[in-house]
């Protein structure tokens, strides 16, 4: 059993970002695709960190409540990825498995940063587990730095 999970809070201190991509707000029409991508993205982390249930994506009702904060990126009518923006926090940046390591994470991250900068939101923050080294590198390469690290007691089995 894992005792603690290391969580980093990162803050954007990079330059102004411009994004030219179009992302549309979440709707229930995309629930099945979104849920599959979300669960695929977090499966390995949740498994290795022993966070149960492993597939803990939001229900259709829960996603509908946050729909105005979730943005979806499509190419050729295929859902590539998504990001959520809550106040000054970037959350749940996901990219479909078959499209990872192709620059989509950066594209979607820059969309979120640009959107927040245009709204004069500051500071722009996000949180990431220390387990997710790839995400930490992506964020650092795009103007984020770690401003806080904390050890979170492992929650054990969490029922949703």
**Could you tell me the pTM of the whole model?**
0.92
Q: Three-state SS for 132?
A: coil
Any domain includes 158: no
Token pair of 132, please? 């997710």
Is residue 140 situated within a structural domain? yes
Identify whether 133 is part of a domain.
yes
Q: Do 10 and 145 contact (CB within 8 A), yes or no?
A: yes
- Cβ atoms of 50 and 1 within 8 Å: the answer is yes
Domain that holds residue 84: 4-153
What is the residue-averaged pLDDT of the chain? 93
Identify whether 160 is part of a domain: no
Q: What is the 3-state secondary structure (H, E, C) of the chain?
A: CCCEEEEEEEEECCCCCCCCCCCEECCHHHHHHHHHHHHHHHHHHHHHCCCECCCCCCCHHHHHHCHHHEEEEEECCEEEEEEEEECCEEEEEEECHHHCCCCHHHHHHHHHHHHHHHCCCCCCEEEEECCCHHHHHHHHHCCEEEEEEEEEECCCECCC
In a domain, 58, yes or no: yes
Task: Count up the domains in the chain and report the number.
Answer: 1
pLDDT at 3: 77
Does a structural domain hold residue 159?
A: no
Q: Tens digits of per-residue pLDDT, 81-135?
A: 999 999 999 999 999 999 999 999 999 999 999 999 999 999 999 999 999 999 9
Look at residue 35 and tell me if it is in a domain. yes
Q: What is the CATH number of the domain that holds 13?
A: 3.40.630.30
Answer for the pair 85, 92: CB distance below 8 angstroms, yes or no: no
Two tokens, residue 159: 């029922």
Does residue 103 form part of some domain?
yes
Distance between CA 95 and CA 104 in Å, rounded? 7
80 confidence band (pLDDT: 50, 70, 90): very high
């Amino acid at each position: 059993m894992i005792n603690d999970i290391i969580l980093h809070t990162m803050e954007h201190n990079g330059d102004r970002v411009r994004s030219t991509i179009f992302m549309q707000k979440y709707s229930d029409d995309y629930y099945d695709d979104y849920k599959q991508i979300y669960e695929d993205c977090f499966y390995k982390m949740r498994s290795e960190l022993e966070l149960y249930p492993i597939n803990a994506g939001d229900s259709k009702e829960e996603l509908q409540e946050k729909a105005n904060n979730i943005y979806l990126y499509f190419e050729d009518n295929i859902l590539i990825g998504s990001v959520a923006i809550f106040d000054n926090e970037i959350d749940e940046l996901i990219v479909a498995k078959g499209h990872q390591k192709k620059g989509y994470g950066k594209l979607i991250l820059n969309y979120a940063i640009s959107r927040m900068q245009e709204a004069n939101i500051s500071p722009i923050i996000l949180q990431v587990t220390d387990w997710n080294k790839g995400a930490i590198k992506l964020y650092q390469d795009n103007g984020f730095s770690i401003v806080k690290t904390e050890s979170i007691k492992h929650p054990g089995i969490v029922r949703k």
